[in-house]
Amino acid sequence: MPYLDIYLAQLTDPFRIGLLVALLVTAANTAPTLNRWIPIALGVVFVAVLIPFSFGASDDIAKAFAVAVGLVSNITLLAVLLGAKALYSRLARG
């Protein structure tokens, strides 16, 4: 599969999106104790590795390639989620 097909499939994966939303909630809860960005960075890598190795990538796709594309798609999704959170915070303050 070409890179763009894998990337778009990962961007629309509801399991990946749900894990990243849960990651942001967890990072917000642990922010006073830990730095906010440490759990986020570790979580992005964890989700990128978890999905190809748990559910298995296609036989024609190398797992390392799926993980690399997963890192890029996770960062893209995370940027969108953080942007939505910032917009909500700004609108909620008035």
Distance, CA of 30 to CA of 81 (rounded, Å): 18
Question: Could you tell me the pLDDT band of residue 23, with boundaries at 50, 70 and 90?
Answer: very high
Query: Number of structural domains, the chain?
Result: 1
Question: Could you tell me the pLDDT band of residue 92, with boundaries at 50, 70 and 90?
Answer: very high
- pTM score, whole prediction: 0.86
Distance, CA of 74 to CA of 11 (rounded, Å): 8
Residue 59 has pLDDT above 70, yes or no: no
Phi, psi at 18, each rounded to 5°: -65, -40
pLDDT at 57: 60
pLDDT at 78: 95
pLDDT at 56: 66
The whole domain housing 36 covers: 3-93
Task: Give the residue ranges of DSSP H helices in the chain.
Answer: 3-11, 14-30, 37-51, 63-93
**Average pLDDT of span 16-36:** 87
